[in-house]
Amino acid sequence: MAAGRPPLVAVCGAGRPRPRDLTAARDAGRLLAGRGWPVLCGGLGGVMGAVAESVAAAGGVVVGLLPGDDPEAGHPALTLALATGLGEGRNLLLVRAAAAVLAIGGGLGTLSEVALALRLGRPVAGIGTWQVRSPLGEDDAALGLQRFADAGAAVDWLARRLGWAGAA
C-alpha cells in the first residue's frame, strides 16, 4: 500500500438482509468513513445500500461496482457507480481491488466474495456471515476469516491487520 493512501475496504452482504445486518452495515460505514477509508461495495440495495448511505452521511467515499451496464442502477448514496457489465463476476473485481473485506450477513454472492478474498490472502472480518471450514479441517480463523459481534470490533481488527489506523 502506498504511503499516505488509505486502504480500500470492500463491504459485502445480502441485497435482502436481516435487520441486524442493516444495523451492522450502517455502523461499519460510519466507522470506515471516520477512519478516512474509501469503501467499495456491490452498489445496489440491502447491506450495500445501508453502508453507502452511512459512508455518505459521514462524508466518506463509497464506490459501487455494479453487476450491470447502467450506472443509474446504483444506489443513490454512492460517490461513484461503476457499471462493470460483469454480473456476479464483479465479485472478483470487488475483492481484487480491496485491501480487506468486511462481510455482513449475506447469501451465496457474499460467500463467493469471502471465498475469493480468502483465496487472495485478503483479511476478512465477518459479522453474522458464513462460517468456513476446509475439507482438511481448517476453520475460519486458520483460513483468514475472523468473526465479530459488532462493527466496531471488526473495523478495529481490520485496522490492526492492515497496519493503518486512519483518522479514528
Rounded to a whole number of angstroms, the distance between the first and last alpha carbons of the chain is 19
pLDDT tens digit sequence for 24-49? 999 999 999 999 999 999 999 999 99
DSSP class of 72: G
Other C-beta atoms lying within 10 Å of the C-beta of residue 100: 24
Specify the higher pLDDT residue, 148 or 164.
148
- Considering only the top CATH level, what class is 9-99? alpha beta
**What are the sequence ranges of the domains in the chain?**
9-99
Mean pLDDT of 16-31: 97
Q: What element of type H or E holds 106?
A: none
pLDDT category of residue 53 using cuts at 50, 70 and 90: very high
pTM score, whole prediction? 0.94
Average pLDDT, the chain: 94
- For CA atoms 21, 125, 6, 99, the dihedral sign is negative
70 pLDDT above the threshold of 80? yes
CA distance 112 to 76: 25
